[in-house]
């Protein structure tokens, strides 16, 4: 086995986004492209010599080949050990747990999360630090700087490792440890939740449907829900991970999980429904005839967390991304705990979790999690709901409506305009940004603007400031209009428009969300002119 040093010209497009580097699969297949980014990771963290890493991903197209390249590069760069999920498979939360449990120096996760897969789809590479969380901005900036200064990369000339066989093997001086990708994570879930109570719920005739969307959560959900808890066989559907996710879009929302939506909205639908995404870190929650928005979900989980064994002692605090509705804020106020408002991206939550300033965190983009790992966790959120349902012995609808009666309802929706021409998207953003100074303390459509700004976040732990995180207009009655560009797309630009209106109750709590927000939607179009400037008749996805 010899180490080859390959001279290269650096690529100029390897700046990590919200969660790693995401490009089209064919972009990663270009000669030297993957290798340059991986070498930039190793260079940015002070080298790989003597270090231990975790490696795995969601199994999308190009993952097996990429895993072999990364192993050969780790060996060439002097790594001591790489712990790999069997078949190069690991959900993102399972990878985070393994990094933390084994005390490694970090991990490389092969995934583009909820983005479509396959040869015509997307691929991604993300580095997580020794905390188990996504690399914070100073680290991603170092990775980007290293990628621009790169002159060569190092790779070992050797055959492929056998990633189908559990156990330890050598690649030069480096050890490769192939582990069961599911077992450690399933054990963690069993320690957090009351599996006996959830099992009794199923034994009572409770019916559930979990759509794994032919993505990585399938094996995890099958092991936990069907084997360990005892849910009936077939509770988990589309359970086998496929390189192209069966041709479907692995994003758990009402648009892309429409088959599950139809089943759950039927009069004889299951009692509980859920879906998870490509890499297992997102979730969608449904009851019979009712959809639970991610913003409501994290608020309900926080309000009921002490019913779950792992959180029985209470919460240190909670956190939400800025675009997420303020429903969580009122729960935090009632519990007399801190509530943090962060930019979008789980890396901002990780700092709060490490400092014990938060226990539960949530994003409007179907991400929910806790301090058990340093990533959002789709199956964890499902189990939280199941444990609460088992304890309260009420339906999802009853719990949700009871929550609104107690705290009021934040009617909320996200409208996505996908794959816009980048110049058009920038025109929309620039147009609103220019108007922000003139909007403050104005009356618009009968509402008084109390805040109009470009959100900047000051981290309460280290004092670092992250500017430019989304344009927001906040009204005196609590209504909000927020606009930001997505950091997870790979084609054109995606604009996300967030709309919120608060109803204190006791009346007006059970309207259809889109109907309740119709006035805010119209006001947003008057202010932003997205449809007019883009030529679109409406958003591509509404959640």
Cβ–Cβ < 8 Å for 66, 82: no
Cβ–Cβ < 8 Å for 70, 55: yes
**Residue 181 vs residues 88, 185, 282, 334, 447: alpha-carbon distances, Å:** 9, 8, 18, 39, 52
Among candidate residues 376, 423, 413, 410, the one with its CA nearest the CA of residue 496: 413
Cβ neighbours for 130, distance < 8 A, ≥ 6 positions apart: 99, 103, 104, 105, 106
Q: Is 113 a catalytic residue?
A: yes
Cβ neighbours for 232, distance < 8 A, ≥ 6 positions apart: 202, 226
Q: Out of 113, 321, 365, 413, which one is annotated catalytic?
A: 113
Cβ–Cβ < 8 Å for 66, 20: no
Cβ–Cβ < 8 Å for 174, 74: yes
Cβ–Cβ < 8 Å for 271, 288: yes
> What is the bridge-based pairing of β-strands 465-466 and 471-475?
unpaired
| Separation CA 299–CA 287 (nearest Å) | 16
Cβ neighbours for 29, distance < 8 A, ≥ 6 positions apart: 62
Question: Helices (DSSP H) in 16-91: which residue ranges?
Answer: 25-28, 33-44, 63-76
Give me the active site residues, please: 113
């Amino acid at each position: 086995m010899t180490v080859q040093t390959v001279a290269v010209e650096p690529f100029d497009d390897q700046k990590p986004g919200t969660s790693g580097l995401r490009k089209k699969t064919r972009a990663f297949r270009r000669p030297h492209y993957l290798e340059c980014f991986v070498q930039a990771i190793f260079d940015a963290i002070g080298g790989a010599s003597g270090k231990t890493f975790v490696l795995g991903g969601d199994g999308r197209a190009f993952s097996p080949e990429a895993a072999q390249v990364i192993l050969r590069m780790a060996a060439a760069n002097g790594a001591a050990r790489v712990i790999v999920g069997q078949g190069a498979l690991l959900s993102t939360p399972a990878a985070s747990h393994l990094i933390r449990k084994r005390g490694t120096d970090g991990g490389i996760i092969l995934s583009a999360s909820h983005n479509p897969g396959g040869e015509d789809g997307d691929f991604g590479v993300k580095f997580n630090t020794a905390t188990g969380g996504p690399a914070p901005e100073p680290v991603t900036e170092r990775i980007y700087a290293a990628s621009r200064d790169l002159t060569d990369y190092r790779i070992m000339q050797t055959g492929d490792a056998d990633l189908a066989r559990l156990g330890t093997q050598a690649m030069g001086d480096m050890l490769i440890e192939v582990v069961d990708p599911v077992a450690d994570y399933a054990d963690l879930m069993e320690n957090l939740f009351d599996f006996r109570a959830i099992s009794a719920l199923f034994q009572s005739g409770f019916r559930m449907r979990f759509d794994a969307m032919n993505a990585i959560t399938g094996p995890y959900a099958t092991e936990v829900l069907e084997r360990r808890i005892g849910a009936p066989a077939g509770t988990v559907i589309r359970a086998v991970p496929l390189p192209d996710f069966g041709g479907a879009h692995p994003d758990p929302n009402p648009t892309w999980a429409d088959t599950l939506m139809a089943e759950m909205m039927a009069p004889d639908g299951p009692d509980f429904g859920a879906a998870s995404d490509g890499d297992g870190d997102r979730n969608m929650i449904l009851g019979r005839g009712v959809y639970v928005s991610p913003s409501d979900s994290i608020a309900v989980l926080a309000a009921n967390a002490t019913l779950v064994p792992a959180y029985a002692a209470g919460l240190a605090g909670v956190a939400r991304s800025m675009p997420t509705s303020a429903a969580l804020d009122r729960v935090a106020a009632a519990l007399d705990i801190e509530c943090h408002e962060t930019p979008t991206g789980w890396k901002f939550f990780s700092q709060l979790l490490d400092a014990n300033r938060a226990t539960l965190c949530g994003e409007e983009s179907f991400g929910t999690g806790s301090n058990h790992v340093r990533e959002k966790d789709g199956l964890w959120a499902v189990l939280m709901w199941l444990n609460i349902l088992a304890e309260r012995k009420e339906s999802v609808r009853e719990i949700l409506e009871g929550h609104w009666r107690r705290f009021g309802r934040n009617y909320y929706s996200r409208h996505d305009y996908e794959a816009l021409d980048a110049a058009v998207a920038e025109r929309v953003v620039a147009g609103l940004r220019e108007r922000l100074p003139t909007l403050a303390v104005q009356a618009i459509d009968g509402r008084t603007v109390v805040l109009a700004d470009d959100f900047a976040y000051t981290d309460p732990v280290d004092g670092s400031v992250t500017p430019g995180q989304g344009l927001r207009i906040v009204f005196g009655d609590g209504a909000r209009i927020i606009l930001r560009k997505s950091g997870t797309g790979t084609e054109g630009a995606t604009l996300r428009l967030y709309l919120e209106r608060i109803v204190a109750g006791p009346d007006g709590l059970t309207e259809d969300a889109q109907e309740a927000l119709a006035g805010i939607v119209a006001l947003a179009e008057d202010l932003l002119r997205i449809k007019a400037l883009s030529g679109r008749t409406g958003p591509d996805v509404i959640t």
